[in-house]
Amino acid sequence: MCGIFGVVSQKPLQLDIETYTQALSHRGPDDYGIHQDKYSSLGHRRLSIIDLSGSKQPIYNEDRSKCIIFNGEIYNFQELRKELLSKGHRFSTNGDTETILHGFEEWGSKCVDRLRGMFAFAIWDLNRKKLFIARDRLGIKPLFFAQHQDRLYFASEMKAILADPSFPRQINELALTSYFSYSYIPAPLTIFSDIHKLEPGHTITWEDGRCRKEKFWDLQFTPDHGKSESYYMDTFMGLLQEAVELRMTSEVPLGAFLSGGIDSSAIVALMSKASADPVNTFCVGFGGNTGGYLDERGYASQVAERYDTAHQNYEVDMTSDGLMEKIVRAFDEPFADDSTIPSYFVCKAAKENVTVALSGLGGDEIFGGYERYLGFKLRGLYNKVPSFVRSNIIAKIVARLPERADGHYTINHMKRFVRSSELAADRCYLSYLSILKDNLRRELFADRRRFSGYHSPCDDIFLQHFNSDNVEGDINSLDRALYCDMKTYLPEDILAVTDRLSMHHSLEVRVPFIDHKLLEFCATIPVDIRMKGFQKKYLLKKAVRPLLPKEVIDHRKQGFIGPMTQWLKHDLKPYVLDTLTEKNLGKHGLLDFATVNKVLDEHFSGKEIHDTLIWSLLIFQKWFDMYIEDGV
């Protein structure tokens, strides 16, 4: 795992490449390297995992006409290396980076089709003055790019691009609308108008000052109803075991996150089967007033005991000095998924013991593990209730219900379900995803007319995926919701958290559930087998039941989040009130203070739960202070 940065231009460049690359030093504290010629400057920061004494980047081909900088891991590089050697390519290193470069020489841009792993890389052709950059199929590794002043910039994180003091920092208002709607900014948008995310499964070729972007992979949901449940279960477990074992290759200490949920517990079980030594495992819990939050550390301990892991428990301290600043600095843009808090601490704990950790991320998106998937299926039954009863009795009763005092989301989810389920399938699911009710969406911004113009293009980013031809089945198929999440929420929220906060601590995280071969197989499993009836993750639970304690499989899902509702009412309340003042909001004038004040009153009184929105407001205000006012 590493950090990459580069600039190419048709005009001669004069650039202090080391300054830009230094902005990524946390991603690669072990080594750095640069390439500079008249029209390019490339920089690399290395976190050494494989071929520790070699593979210093940039790496050149035999005649030094091409060079590569690379972030990620290629798990099938040994077999590709053998094939390339047989074709006459000569290698000077033993790592995976050089395999990509020779693969590009042999297969051109189609080399990405041969790679199994996570990657973001750039290959510069010195003779043709041509750049090729690529991001892996699922977006496990990030890649940002920007065109400015006859230059093309690219980087693992935006902070490297922003190290150019002349680079504009204009806020992208469509991105801002998306952020307050969903708590993160989906690709290709970023908070900056001139910087973009390269979408997963895409490449860019730059030549003669022009960029050509191409898609090289996408997931196809094509259910095969001709196979038995046992076939799907056995094949899936074989592929998952393979994916785990591929990701255990390392020349540095390795471990795993163990939250106590099914996904991470299954990964630890399979790692233990494949390892002669005890697996290092790490878990976090929460102190302070946690209300109805379910602490899963006990379930993690059961798994650790069964497999005799070297297990360590840690407790999150929300009062940690500078925590919010560190989170904002990790992302370079507003990002308000509150899983950042436990993720920050579990990565910090793991790095004290290992350099590589495996994670159970991805199981929910494959097998239907979120409450919103259950709600999407239930809406069919709910809409059979007579309309008069739904609108005049159920909706009115539910709307008046106070939120639970312990901060649990039961009532909140019920309200969202009732107000959304009568909508068309695509709009219904979009409403499940949004953190804003329609009235708040209209009222949140100070200039309501201007920002109302962004609502439709913001929605279209998600609706295009929900309605994609890549999913077989009618508009009510749950596979549409799963595909939509895999194109948006998975890469730009869940995987973004994992990458930025692990790299903040110079830790590499690997995600076996998001192996593309495994996903391609799972997309052939009929959705009513993956999620049978109203049993979330039915097939996965059945498949791993022999491996895990009954209590781990059958307990209520918590998710890797913190008790934010209670934190905002208690531990963080003084900070909230000091930050979201009329004076502070007036610095940018983007948000309506009266609406923000109403949101706070409703949350503190228990009338509504607005934890994600309030956290989004706090994060945005901190980001604005750091990146716009102070220009970090």
Residues 6 or more apart in contact with residue 469 via CB below 8 angstroms = none
Confirm whether residue 359 is marked as ligand binding.
yes
HEC sequence for 286-306: ECCCCCCCCCCHHHHHHHHHH
The residue length of the chain stands at 632
Is 2 an annotated catalytic residue? Answer: yes
DSSP string, 413-460: HHHHHHHHTTS-HHHHHHHHH-SS-HHHHHHSBSSHHHHHTTHHHHHH
Q: Active site residue: 2, 67, 283, 484, which one?
A: 2
CB 420 within 8 A of CB 411: no
d(CA 297, CA 261): 9
| Cis, bond preceding 563 (omega within 30 deg of 0) | no
Name the residue with tokens 């899963």. 296
Instruction: Pick left, alpha or beta for residue 117 (phi over 0 → left; psi -120 to 50 → alpha; otherwise beta).
Output: left
* CA 616 – CA 621 distance, rounded (Å): 9
320: helix, strand or coil: coil
Provide the b/e sequence for 296-306 (b: ≥16 CB within 10 Å): bbebbbbbbeb
Burial (CB count within 10 angstroms: exposed 0-12, middle 13-18, buried 19+), residue 424: exposed
**For the chain, what is the largest distance between any 2 Cα atoms, rounded to a whole number of angstroms?**
76
State the amino acid at position 353 in one-letter form: N
CA 135/CA 204 separation, integer angstroms: 9
Sign of torsion over alpha carbons 361, 335, 618, 454: negative
Cα dist. 540→22, 226, 240 in Å? 43, 19, 11
Task: Find out whether 96 is annotated in a ligand binding site.
Answer: yes
Residue 606 backbone zone (phi > 0: left; psi -120 to 50: alpha; other: beta): left
Amino acid at 404: R
Which letter, b or e, does each residue of 571-582 get, where b requires 16 or more Cβ atoms within 10 Å of its Cβ? bbeeebeebbee
In whole angstroms, give the CA distance from residue 448 to residue 460. Answer: 19
Structural contact between residues 473 and 482, judged by C-beta atoms closer than 8 angstroms? no
Annotated binding site for ATP: 284, 359-360
Question: From the annotation, which residues make up the binding site?
Answer: 96, 284, 359-360
As annotated, the active-site residues are: 2
Which residues are documented as binding site for L-glutamine? 96
